[in-house]
Amino acid sequence: ESKTDIRKGLVGVVADVTAVSKVMPETNSLTYRGYPVQDLAENCSFEEVAYLLWNGELPNASELADFRAEEAAERALSPALHEVIRAFPHGAHPMDAIRTAVSFMGMEDPEAGDVSEPATRRKAMRLLAKIPGAIAAAHRATKGEAPVAADPSLSFAESFFHLVFGRVPQPEVVKAFDVSLILYAEHGFNASTFTARTITSTGADLHGAVVGGIAALKGPLHGGANEAVMHMLSEIGDPARAVEWLQSRFDHRALVMGFGHRVYKNGDSRVPTMTKYAERMAEVVGDRRWMEMSRLLAAEMLAKKNIHPNLDFPAGPAYHLMGFDIPLFTPIFVASRITGWAAHVIEQSADNRLIRPLSEYTGAAQRSVPSMAHRG
Ligand code: CMC
């Protein structure tokens, strides 16, 4: 038994201050720079929210126009990056693909060695602009399709669809996607953001922090859950089987993906907004099956386990209804969360102290090194 107060998983530990977002489990709410996330989702574009996260205030019309123009101008990938993407092993995981693409972008960035704040801000803009193209090119390559050239006249959300599918869907679909990007953009000291801040605390660069963030986000307990949710819904297949399927998960004491949260224990403020837009997608597509199944699963989880869904639960079927293949779901989370990660990297650098906690040793007692002849 430990003599020190060890918080496994750092549960309840306040590691630092932040002015980027506030997670309030008492009221199931989340604000970015003071604005409730659901209000941002309903009233703003993702570009406005990216600006807010990076600058602390919402942009006025001319600031937004400049921000959009800068982002749109940086969308093209270098020929070298296209070659690297073509060389990715067949069947590579899309999160590994975007992680590797970001790592390569770090090497070819014109300000590669510069960790100053102005350079970090310019690098963040380049990453925001280029990540969708890299995700889309890697995905299209797995299908033997050539990359689509970026169109700077499109909004960020429209451009994402265009890069993946070569066309932009109807406005309701683009709006639902934009809402999901806003809801995914930022969330306090979650695992990937804390990883990014830890990397930054050593004096390393933005691309390194983002590569670490992507690696952390891939896991099924974090961002990987949105894909796992859709695999689960596909496995259930029919709303009539949902309750019985859930019971078998309970019998095996298995996790149900898209449910539970380290901080919110009474509900995730992002869920009602995402559910509303997922329902809209179900209407647009004319396929009610997934949302019906979701409703039954959520009601049963609450009744039997008192566990609420998290954002990944409605996001999974929403992305499926928008036409995205399941392997793109977590990379979409990356395309959004780059905004939150960069905001935290800038904040960490501005008032840095090396992140270096302690551990309590529980291994073998101190002993002398035996010669080779005396080893078992
Ligand atoms: N399915 C079944 N039981 C669950 C679940 C779940 N999804 N989540 C929590 N529980 C149970 C857990 O087993 C524990 O039971 P017991 O007290 O009997 O051991 C109890 O609820 C308390 O949970 P916990 O283990 O203390 O929760 P945690 O804070 O350590 O973990 C979590 C949080 C998100 C890792 C966990 O809820 C989980 O694995 N959920 C499924 C994966 C998922 O949806 N992740 C997305 C997270 S949110 C957004 C994001 O980052 O993408």
Pocket test for ligand 1, best of 195, 252, 262, 263 (most atoms within 8 A of CB): 262
> What SS3 state is found at 348?
helix
362 inside domain: no
Q: What pLDDT, on a 0 to 100 scale, did the predictor assign at position 47?
A: 98
Q: 200 and 287 share a domain?
A: no
Q: What pLDDT, on a 0 to 100 scale, did the predictor assign at position 265?
A: 87
Pocket test for ligand 1, best of 302, 310, 330, 337 (most atoms within 8 A of CB): 310
Q: 103 and 170 share a domain?
A: yes
Q: 165 and 180 share a domain?
A: yes
Two tokens at 228? 């796992």
Q: Are 114 and 126 in contact (CB under 8 A)?
A: no
Taking CA atoms, 95 is separated from 9, 57, 131, in Å, by 24, 31, 11
**Under-50 pLDDT residues of the chain:** none
22, containing H or E segment:
strand 21-24
Pocket test for ligand 1, best of 261, 263, 294, 297 (most atoms within 8 A of CB): 261
How far apart CA 136 and CA 335 sit, in angstroms, is 11
**Nearest alpha carbon, ligand 1 atom 50:** 222
Phi then psi for residue 24, to 5 deg, are: -120, 90
258 CB near ligand 1 (under 6 Å): yes
Q: 38 and 148 share a domain?
A: yes
255 CB near ligand 1 (under 6 Å): yes
How far apart CA 6 and CA 352 sit, in angstroms, is 24
**Nearest alpha carbon, ligand 1 atom 29:** 262
Q: What pLDDT, on a 0 to 100 scale, did the predictor assign at position 1?
A: 62
**Nearest alpha carbon, ligand 1 atom 28:** 262
Which string of DSSP letters, residue by residue, matches 156-197?
HHHHHHHHHHSS---HHHHHHHHHHHHHHS--SS-HHHHHHH
Q: 206 and 265 share a domain?
A: no
**Nearest alpha carbon, ligand 1 atom 17:** 305
183 inside domain: yes
Q: Are 21 and 186 in contact (CB under 8 A)?
A: yes
> What SS3 state is found at 308?
coil
How far apart CA 207 and CA 213 sit, in angstroms, is 10
Q: 253 and 342 share a domain?
A: no
Cα radius of gyration (the chain): 22
Q: Based on the number of CB atoms within 10 Å of its own CB, is 261 exposed (0-12), middle (13-18) or buried (19 or more)?
A: buried
Phi then psi for residue 364, to 5 deg, are: -60, 150
pLDDT tens track for 109-162: 999 999 999 999 999 999 999 999 999 999 999 999 999 999 999 999 999 999
Q: 159 and 302 share a domain?
A: no
CATH number, residue 271: 1.10.230.10
Is the complex ipTM higher than 0.85?
yes
Domain span including residue 240: 225-322
Number of domains in the chain: 2
99 inside domain: yes
1 inside domain: no
Q: Are 93 and 325 in contact (CB under 8 A)?
A: no
Q: 27 and 169 share a domain?
A: yes
78 inside domain: yes
Q: 137 and 233 share a domain?
A: no
CATH number, residue 146: 1.10.580.10
Q: 176 and 267 share a domain?
A: no
Q: 130 and 173 share a domain?
A: yes
193 inside domain: yes
360 inside domain: no
pTM for the full predicted model: 0.97
Q: Are 62 and 48 in contact (CB under 8 A)?
A: no
Two tokens at 240? 């009539």
312 CB near ligand 1 (under 6 Å): yes
Q: Are 21 and 340 in contact (CB under 8 A)?
A: yes
Half-sphere exposure of 256 (CA within 13 A, CB side): 28
307 CB near ligand 1 (under 6 Å): yes
- C-alpha of residue 260 to centroid of ligand 1, in Å: 4
Residue 127: CB partners within 8 Å, gap ≥ 6? 102, 105, 206, 207, 210, 338, 342
Taking CA atoms, 229 is separated from 112, 195, 301, 330, in Å, by 37, 24, 14, 11
101 inside domain: yes
Q: 184 and 291 share a domain?
A: no
Catalytic residues: 222, 261, 312
Beta pairing partners, 11: none
